[in-house]
């Protein structure tokens, strides 16, 4: 009689496992899985900072030509010129140096650092996983909804179903 009870318990456990597996596998079709559920999170930090303006390290005198357009030289002297140099630019960081030249000297220098740690967060996913080890050969179907993970599969060594639930504690 004890052997029959074990067989009945095993059959009941297998039926429950298969029902859970069927529920997990069919969950993506029951729960709405559309692009509307995707959300984009973007953290952007922009920082402008005035930095030290250096003095010339060396002054080199050049010979002035005999014929000079004085008006043009004076206009050029009193023209303020702003140079923008993008030192580094990629998906995450943009570094820009901006120099202002006025009256033949460096008048102002600012540095801009833009940090964009954007990422796509998908709320649903479906996957397949396998585990192989001593006395273990498993094939699992995995469904993820936000931070919850549901898995169900089959152990080929013990010839029994497997189910599991997980929760993601930290994402990075």
Phi-psi bin for 81: left (phi > 0), alpha (psi -120 to 50), beta? beta
The yes-or-no verdict on residue 36 having pLDDT over 50 is: no
User: Does residue 26 or residue 140 have the better pLDDT?
Assistant: 140
103-150 pLDDT per residue, tens: 888 888 888 878 776 655 567 888 887 777 777 778 888 888 888 888
The pLDDT assigned to 140 comes to 84
The pLDDT assigned to 43 comes to 55
Domain ranges for the chain: 2-37+120-167, 43-117
The pLDDT assigned to 78 comes to 92
State the pTM of this model. Answer: 0.40
41-98 pLDDT per residue, tens: 555 566 666 666 677 788 888 898 889 898 998 998 999 999 999 888 887 788 888 8
């Amino acid at each position: 009689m004890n052997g029959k009870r074990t067989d009945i318990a095993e059959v009941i456990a297998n039926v429950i496992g298969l029902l859970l597996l069927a529920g997990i596998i069919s969950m993506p079709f029951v729960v709405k899985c559309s692009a509307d559920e995707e959300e984009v999170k973007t953290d952007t930090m922009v920082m402008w900072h005035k930095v030290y303006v250096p003095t010339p390290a060396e002054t080199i005198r050049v010979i002035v030509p005999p014929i000079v357009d004085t008006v043009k030289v004076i206009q050029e002297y009193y023209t303020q010129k702003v140079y923008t140099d993008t030192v580094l630019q990629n998906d995450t960081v943009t570094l820009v140096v901006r120099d202002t030249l006025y009256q033949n000297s460096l008048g102002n220098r600012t540095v801009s650092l833009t940090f964009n740690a954007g990422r796509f967060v998908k709320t649903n996913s479906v996957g397949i996983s396998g585990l192989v080890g001593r006395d273990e050969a498993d094939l699992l179907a995995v469904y993820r909804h936000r931070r919850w993970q549901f898995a169900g599969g089959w152990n080929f060594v013990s010839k029994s179903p497997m189910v599991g639930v997980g929760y993601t504690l930290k994402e990075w």
